[in-house]
Amino acid sequence: MLVIPAVDLKGKKCVQLIQGDPNKKHLELNNPVEVAKKFVDEGAEYLHIIDLDAAFGTGNNRDVIKSIIKEVNVPVEVGGGIRSLDIAKELINLGVDRVIVGTKAILEPEFIEELNKDIGKDKIVLAVECKDGKVVVKGWKEKIDKTPIEVINDFEDKVGYILFTNVDVEGLLKGINVDIIKELIENTKIPIIYSGGVTTLDDIKALKEIGVYGVVIGSALYKGLIDLKEALKISKE
C-alpha cells in the first residue's frame, strides 16, 4: 500500500484546511518545497498535491508544483481546478505523474473520454467525494443523487484510479469509517486511494487490511499524530 503525504497549496504556501473551508486552516507553512522534500527524506515514495487556488478559481500554484517536481525524485499526483484538457496536459508536461479530476468529470463524463484519448487512463485519478452516503461535487457544496459505487461503476474502464474522500470525517482528525471503503473495494476493479480523517497508525493498518491501494495523509502528519516512517513501515509489512 502506498502512503501518500498531502501537500495542499494556497497562496504559494502549504496549508491544511478544516472540512475544505478556505477560511478555516489547521496550519500554514511558508515553504511547500521544503515540506515536500522533508516527506521524501523520511521515505515517502509518492506525493499528493492539491492546488487550492486553482480549485477555488483564485489563481494557481503551478510554479510551486514545478519547483516541487524539480526538487523531489518521486512521482506526484496533482488535483485542484483541472477543468480542461489543456490544463491536464500542461501539468503532465510539467512532469506530474497523475492528474486528479472530480466535479467536471462526474457532471460531464465526456471530459474523461477526452482525457482518456489524450493522456491515457493510467494518468487519470477520479475524485469521488461522499457525504451522508451520496456523492458531492463543486467543493462539497452540492449533492448528487448517486452513491459512490454508482459513480465509480460509470467510470469502470475509463480511469486508472479512484481517490475516495469521506467528507463526513475529512479534516476532523477523528478516524475513519472502514465499512464504506470496504464496500467500494469489493465492488470495483479500479484501485482505490483513500483520503479523509486518517488519524492513527491503526487507521493505516485497517486500510491496508481491506486492500486499499494508497492512503493520503494530511493533517495527522502535520500535527505529529502519525509518524511517517512508522506509517510507511506498516504499509510495507
Angle between the 62-71 and 32-41 helix axes, to the nearest 10 degrees? 30
* CA separation for the pair 15, 4 (Å, rounded): 16
Determine the Cα–Cα distance for residues 36 and 221; give it in Å rounded to an integer: 12
| Options 51, 53, 77, 129, the catalytic residue | 129
Gap between the Cα atoms of 36 and 55, Å rounded? 20
Cell numbers 496549508 correspond to what residue? 15
* Euclidean distance between CA atoms 5 and 43, whole angstroms: 10
Cell representation of residue 140: 462539497
Of 8, 53, 77, 170, the catalytic one is: 8
129 catalytic, yes or no? yes
Q: Taking the CA atoms of the chain, what radius of gyration do you get in angstroms?
A: 16
Is 90 labeled as catalytic in the residue annotation?
no
40, exposed or middle or buried, with CB in 10 Å at 0-12, 13-18, 19+?
middle
Q: Spell out a b/e string for 160-189, using b for 16 or more CB atoms within 10 Å of the CB, else e.
A: ebbbbbbbbbbbebeebeeebbbebbeebe
Ordered alpha helix ranges (H), the chain: 32-41, 52-56, 62-71, 85-94, 103-107, 110-119, 148-154, 178-186, 201-210, 219-222, 228-236
Catalytic residues: 8, 129
